Structure 1
Amino acid sequence: TTDAQQGDAFLGYSCHCSPGYSGARCQHKCSGPLGMEGGIISKGQLSSSSALRDMFGLQRWTPNLARLHRTGMVNAWSPSESDRWPWIQVNLLRQMRVTGLITQGARRLGSSEYVKSYKIGFSDNAANWSMMTSRGDTQDMIFHGNSDSSSPMANAFFPPIEAQYIRVYPQVCRGHCMLRMELMGCELTGCSEPLGLKGGQVQDSQLTSSSVYQTLGMGFLAWTPNRARLDHQAKVNAWTAATNDHNQWIQVDLLVPTKITGVVTQGAKDFGRVQFVRSYKLAYSNDGIKWTTYQDEGQHKDKVFQGNVDNDTHRKNLIQPPIYGRFLRLIPWSWSGRITLRMELLGCTEED
């Protein structure tokens, strides 16, 4: 079904998308990772009822570690042994549509430990909480969790949750309640799909830049704009400008007018040297000739977006109100090392 009215109103009925889908033709599946694994969800957005201290207090299993596929000796969240009603909480900073959760256990001192079942709570203010229930039932829904320490287990939420805060309440655990996780969902608008830099739908020819740096002056070590794809892995795996100044830019031609609702950025390393963009401006155009710099509505001047703080963590910025245009330019405004960038754009086609 579709939520587009398209003449249906006079017949006295309307249509709605199935849970987890949005867009005029229900074409957007609201099931993207919200940023636990990638780091878009920062340490400050995570809290818990308690945290396990192990090995005479040397090991601390804090909520910031509860990220899907995290590695290392201490690589998950676990509540303290005395915590009878444990929980871990994610503050999404604004209302989001949350459509599911992926969970994973961990190993501790050689033992496989994990959450076998859990409940889900949600809130808009972190004070008044509601619990997910089964349809037509007033009992809290209990979700099946993991059966080992490494295999991810996904559960979908029907209907999706619309809230700012999400809590996971472990119910039954094997050993300690070890948890790594990822929340799935999207912005409430539904218009927050990756536009194709990471996935490859945006072709190399659609990416251009003001200049290109070459390591040691060698052409085969050129940091060209087509490499500026989020999470791209290679020795040369990002765009780097030839010079560090405010005249540098990287441009994406989306080929058709597009609603752009977010930008995700990432730095990179050049032979071990950490490099990233600390802040940037955005400009947009429909013809590639006449450009408009995105404005901070409150201050009536060019908006400067906060960028990365290291070479690997994702940094997501929402564009509110959205940009409508075919071309987008990211203009680095401050940086560490050389201007170096990997990126993804979020949004949907203007038609949708």
Structure 2
Amino acid sequence: MENGFIRNEQIKGSDFTYGHFPQEGRLNSYKYWKTEYPSPADPWIQVDLKDNVTITRIRTQGSVSGWYIEHDHWVSKLQIQYGNTEDSLAYIMDGSAPKTFNANSDRDTVVSITFPQPISARFLRIIPTEWHTWVALRFEVIGCDPDCNTALGMESGFILDNHITAADYYTADGLIPDDQRPADGRLHQRPYCWVSTFSNPYDDPWIQVAFKAFENTVNITGIQTQGSGPSIWHSWVTKLQIQYGNTEDSLAYIMDGATAKTFNANSDEDTVVSITFPQPISAMFLRIITREWHRWVTLRFEVIGCHN
């Protein structure tokens, strides 16, 4: 929520006051979600996590400090619903009744609410049941992806352009009017892709992602790759190797015994190929080193894993 990994379209609520949309209900945001006044009988805010994840707790705040005293609002008690579809949500229970959790007693202190047991769900709904003056909420969801197979942000744009670098890239000339930059190497990107000018595998043509958008190292279980896509390049990478590490000057290869492991990649320009690593790796940097290719070094890719 706070870091933007959950996008606005994944957040919705029962209602809102104009200017205080559900999408504003992110922890430590300078805005917050607020219902209409008077607050409805059954207010709620919900997150679609897009996949089945394990959730262990939430963290909550009320309205934002620094606003006028008439904006002094928070949720003091709440209940939780969860499920894999919106029409099959179930409460976290306390015996035969929905469990009520204590939440905030002021508008800005972060309160951590731990569930009795981890829950597994795609949808999480927070239902305020008591509040001070008005329903106002900012929150974070804490948990993990049990299969560690989430797209980490190349295709979605969560990984920023300036966090994607390469040994080189093709620059515009009279024949090709546009640069083919490292940031164009996103899965399903069209009409561009990353293109290297290197023609010899001993030049080590590479493209790299820095996971600076995450607070900690990420766990990476694999990558997905494509070639150039339908374009004048008609090219793809057929074999590649992987380096990873927590600093750029300490990258290590994924190994196969005593040698760097070589992964098979694409055999056409557009089919998505999934490459699973022998073991998950934990890193702040991931570098893809292309070793063999058809015509040109061209690549679009996604990184698959989960963040701590």
Q: TM-score, structure 1 length as denominator?
A: 0.50
Cα deviation code 1:163-195 (max 9, x no counterpart): 111100011111221111000111123799x9x
Distance 1:52 1:293, change over 3 A: farther
- The answer to whether the 8 Å contact 2:148/2:221 transfers is no
5+ residue gaps, structure 1? 1-35, 54-59, 195-208, 213-243, 253-257, 264-281, 304-319, 335-342
The one-letter code sitting in structure 1 at the alignment partner of 2:277 is I
The one-letter code sitting in structure 2 at the alignment partner of 1:42 is R
Alignment partners' CA distance in 2, 1:101 and 1:322: 31
Do structure 1's residue 76 and structure 2's residue 42 form an aligned pair?
A: no
The equivalent residue for 1:24 is none
Shift in Å, 1:345: 6.6
Alignment partners' CA distance in 1, 2:278 and 2:305: 13
Alignment partners' CA distance in 2, 1:79 and 1:210: 47
Shift in Å, 1:245: 4.1
Shift in Å, 1:286: 2.0
Aligned residues: 210
Alignment partners' CA distance in 2, 1:76 and 1:262: 36
The equivalent residue for 2:133 is 175
The equivalent residue for 2:4 is 39
Distance 1:211 1:161, change over 3 A: same
Alignment partners' CA distance in 2, 1:84 and 1:290: 59
The equivalent position to 2:255 in structure 1, one of 275, 286, 291, is: 286
Cα deviation code 1:74-126 (max 9, x no counterpart): x0111112422110010111111110000011135443211111000012110
Alignment partners' CA distance in 1, 2:61 and 2:209: 38
Please provide the CA RMSD for this pair: 4.0
The equivalent residue for 1:241 is none
The equivalent residue for 1:94 is 51
What is the percentage of aligned positions where both structures have the same residue? Answer: 22
The equivalent residue for 2:221 is 261
Shift in Å, 1:260: 2.7
Q: What SS class does the counterpart of residue 9 from structure 2 fall into?
A: helix
The one-letter code sitting in structure 1 at the alignment partner of 2:88 is N
Distance 1:347 1:132, change over 3 A: closer
The equivalent residue for 2:278 is 324
Distance 1:251 1:120, change over 3 A: closer
Distance 1:61 1:322, change over 3 A: farther
The equivalent residue for 1:65 is 24
Q: TM-score, structure 2 length as denominator?
A: 0.57
Alignment partners' CA distance in 2, 1:68 and 1:259: 24
Alignment partners' CA distance in 2, 1:289 and 1:127: 49
5+ residue gaps, structure 2? 153-164, 169-193, 197-204, 211-217, 224-239, 243-253, 290-297
Q: What SS class does the counterpart of residue 97 from structure 2 fall into?
A: coil
- The answer to whether the 8 Å contact 1:260/1:324 transfers is no
